[in-house]
Amino acid sequence: MGGVGSVANYLLKPGPAGPEIKEEGDALAWATRRNVGFRFTDSTVFIELRKGPVKLRGVEFDLTGDTARQLGNPMIARMRPGADFRDTPEGYPLTAEQLRRFEFEEPTPVKGAVLTVPAGQETAFYVLLLGFEIVGEGRTVRGAPSFTYTTEESWRTKTFHINISLSICSPQSEADTPC
């Protein structure tokens, strides 16, 4: 995979009003419950970069269901060393205060983003930022994303897949039923 891989350690308990998480084989499935009208940022997908630069050509994922709609374009942000935030915070796009608090650098559109490992570091961590709005009751699933990219060593486009999905359910009060 040319030095690109998915991060293996994820939070295993939800934050306040945050997502639930369960492992399904080699996949991780997040779930969050929100009320109609709620806007949030899905920041549950991470990339661990061991060698760069890598130029992202795009990201694709399935969105199944009509409970949520995607807002804006997929964005990516480098995480500051030591940052450990994986959740579905309120709002999209994230505010400057949220970026500081979650220890994310300024986001950039996925398409055309150049990911690097800063000098003196062995790895760099990046987070995919996707905006969603709850538009009805029910369930929508954001499937596992596939990224296309190129490297300096090769002009060929390559793909890597991160096996993490997110179930988005509404209304929020139905916590006793599976999402």
pLDDT tens-digit series, residues 163-176: 999 999 999 875 66
Residue 37 is assigned to a structural domain of this protein: yes
Residue 140 is assigned to a structural domain of this protein: yes
Residue 117 is assigned to a structural domain of this protein: yes
Residue 177 is assigned to a structural domain of this protein: no
Residue with structure tokens 């690097």?
116
pLDDT tens-digit series, residues 45-74: 999 998 889 999 999 999 999 999 999 999
Residue 13 is assigned to a structural domain of this protein: no
Residue 39 is assigned to a structural domain of this protein: yes
Distances (CA, A) of 143 to 164, 165, 167: 7, 5, 9
Number of H helices, E strands in the chain: 1, 14
Which residue range is the domain that position 139 belongs to? 4-8+21-170
pLDDT tens-digit series, residues 98-141: 999 999 999 999 999 999 999 999 999 999 999 999 999 999 99
Q: Is the pLDDT of residue 5 over 50?
A: no
- The pLDDT-based confidence of 79 (bands split at 50, 70, 90) is very high
Residue 14 is assigned to a structural domain of this protein: no
Q: Are 179 and 139 in contact (CB under 8 A)?
A: yes
Residue with structure tokens 């959740």?
87
Q: Give CA–CA dist 47/109, Å, rounded.
A: 15
Residue 113 is assigned to a structural domain of this protein: yes
Structural domain count, the chain: 1
Q: What is the pLDDT of residue 153?
A: 82
Q: Give CA–CA dist 58/177, Å, rounded.
A: 35
Kindly report whether the global pTM for this prediction surpasses the value 0.75: yes
DSSP for 33-69, please give it: E--TT-EEEEEEEEEEESS--EEEEEEE--EESSSEE
pLDDT tens-digit series, residues 10-53: 222 233 333 444 444 567 888 899 999 999 999 999 999 988 89
